[in-house]
Amino acid sequence: MRYDDSPPQPETAPAPGADRRRFARRSALAVAAAVIAPTTLAGWVLVQVGTGAGADDARPPRIAAPAATGTGTPAAPPATASPGADPSTGAPASGAPAPSPGATSPLAGKTVVIDPGHNTGNFDHSREINQQVDIGTARKECDTTGTTTRAGYKEADFTLDVSRRLRTLLEGRGLKVVFTHEADRAWGPCITERARIGNEANADAVVSVHADGVSEGSRGYHVILPAKVKGGAADTAAIVGPSRTLGERIAANFARTTGSGPANYLGGGTGLVVRDDLGGLNLSTRPKVFVECGNMRDSKDAALLTSPQWRQKAAQGIADGIVGFLGG
């Protein structure tokens, strides 16, 4: 409405019918004002609610969807964070379950091969496991018995238990997991077959689970990485780099989750060791590492290795390292 700022004019008699016309114009203006005012007020309220005025300032303001305009197209609902997400970022909150991987997940379609070190049956099949096999750069025993704690807890029992826990965690993230064995055979498999299983699965990562057996006082974990070797069927040139990245990821997560320190007897305190004498690494064409979770012959480490709760932590640390390596 525009107000007339001109000086007041002398009053004159209204023309015939002027009062009726003036009344009609004023009535029309009053009706228009009555329509506009509620609409304007409703729009103001919508903005106040939509911007969360007076609400938690940690949340970003949400732009309210415009009211329907009568075009027949409903307004899109505002986006909401997934359950358990940080409302300020939309990222999963700490401790919240990881989202199930979908078609766009970096873990979708990926395969991990888990190799539980040794086999409890090896103790009864020394002739079979002592047969020599070709690892490309040399010949070695097909397999060994592995070590035990001083109380008799076998490395092979430890590695199978941790591997099964690890499988559950990885499958929970949507990964396909393949085992080299589940103690469902009398002995073995040989180190050559263990490598072949990972290669034929076209694994995105291969992890061999072990525990060491050295003297009392030697403590801590270490991750064994493949050296660059070439000879016969062995050629690790393509996997040295990615295997190191895999090993570094696992070492860091293992230490954080278990609270264990890196081995104090090799690796220079890094928790990483490079070797060229392990057939399981030499013959692998896929990124692969060995994880020595601790020393079974040290009483303090043995107390950890025989604890189901600690073995769950060990599995979690390895799983987190693998998932990080695969981009999950």
Question: Annotated catalytic sites, by residue?
Answer: 292
Please report how the helices 308-325 and 155-172 are oriented relative to each other, as an axis angle in degrees rounded to 10: 50
Q: Which of 269, 328, 265, 319 has the alpha carbon at shortest distance from 291?
A: 319
> Token match 């799983």: residue?
319
DSSP states of 108-161: TT-EEEEEE-S-GGGGG-HHHHTSEEE-SSSEEES-----B-TT--BHHHHHHH
Q: Which of 269, 262, 249 has the alpha carbon at shortest distance from 293?
A: 262
Do the Cβ atoms of 97 and 173 come closer than 8 Å? Answer: no
Give the CA-trace dihedral at 181, 187, 191, 196, to 10 degrees. -40
DSSP states of 264-318: SSSGGGSSEEEES--HHHHT--S-EEEEEEEETTSHHHHHHHT-HHHHHHHHHHH
